[in-house]
Chains A and B, each alone.
Chain A
């Protein structure tokens, strides 16, 4: 596609439920990133993929968060046993290659945990 796409745009769930957020990067981009943005703050890094493997997952807050990119394109961020503190906008970005290349962001998924 022309840009990074994310689905759903909004997700409302109940505390304790499982959610999946999807990111479709720009065609041909090998690097994919997930960030999280809380109200009034800048985005914060969660995880980065180079190809199919997670090259750096040091930003994931705990083991309830997991992400995959099985074919090196689309990625899914998975959150188990959601908590109210997980409420935020989850942003996905992609770049042609890693290390110093310009990143392009999707519109984000706004997650609300009730």
Chain B
């Protein structure tokens, strides 16, 4: 099946700093989503982005499908950005469900 790798596994930032999270995947995809899992375990949809670039406030994401990677940018980080960020993909072939990476655990310190 499709493989998903996220980096870095852990990230500690000072409030106000910027960061880039990376997601590499092993095959062509027809779905790629970025999630933020809050401390209560809820998966919050950030972006649905199988290709292209999107922006939502301080967050933006870019997926380069031909090179099989996606980037999530967080600017001017806040303590409420803390949590785990997951990238999840659905391959063009194979299982019709999301395969998740192992996540990036982000801690934003005041």
Contacts and interface: CB of A to CB of B under 8 A. Distances in A.
A15 to B, nearest CB: 24
Nearest to B49: A102
Q: Classify chain A's interface size.
A: 20 to 34
A102 B102 contact: no
Interface string A93-112: 10000111111110110100
Interface in A58-109: 58-59, 89, 91, 93, 98-105, 107-108
B12 interface: no
Contacts of B45: 102, 104-105
Q: Classify chain B's interface size.
A: 20 to 34
A107 B90 CA distance: 21
Interface in B42-65: 42-43, 45, 48, 50
Contacts of A41: 102
B33 A103 contact: yes
B95 A56 contact: yes
Interface of B: 30-31, 33, 35, 40-43, 45, 48, 50, 86, 88, 90, 95-103
